[in-house]
Amino acid sequence: MCDFSKMMMRKAIRLSLKSMEEGGGPFGAVIVKEGKEVASGYNQVTVKVDPTAHAEVTAIRKAAKKLKTFDLSGCEIYTSCEPCPMCLSAIYWARIDKIYYANTQTDAKAIGFDDSFIYGQLELPEDKRSIPVVKMLRNEAIEAFEIWKNKEKKINY
């Protein structure tokens, strides 16, 4: 592991400590592009009263704003903990090239951040999930998809 990678991971770890000082959970993240830090974030779920304000999502939002693009191809993320399902999905949607992490899912589970329930729910058929899923009005909603499909001026993502 190169010195730059260690430095970025140590920053993510410091951010996880800062998060706790401000009342958040112990998670921090740094996004890098071409060997330069683009953005960083830490967990602000309880501070901002926002269940999506995880370290990785916060860093992704800042990086996208700074780079003026939702496509973070060419970027890497350093995160103090293996990403949860939501953050992992956000990383894929952002097209980040590589993930570096320190603590594991098992480490997170040991301190009360257990994502195994969510992973388990994703594997179940909709009718077996703990949150009821009701499909409705598809015949009306499909119109927007048809318009999108045929739209000439659109930004694909």
Query: How many angstroms separate the CA atoms of 120 and 122, rounded?
Result: 5
User: Which positions are catalytic?
Assistant: 56
In contact, 29 and 8? CB cutoff 8 Å: no
- Integer angstrom CA distances of residue 9 from 29, 63, 106, 126: 8, 17, 19, 38
**CA terminus-to-terminus distance, the chain:** 32
In contact, 19 and 28? CB cutoff 8 Å: yes
Indicate the length of the chain as a whole number. Answer: 157
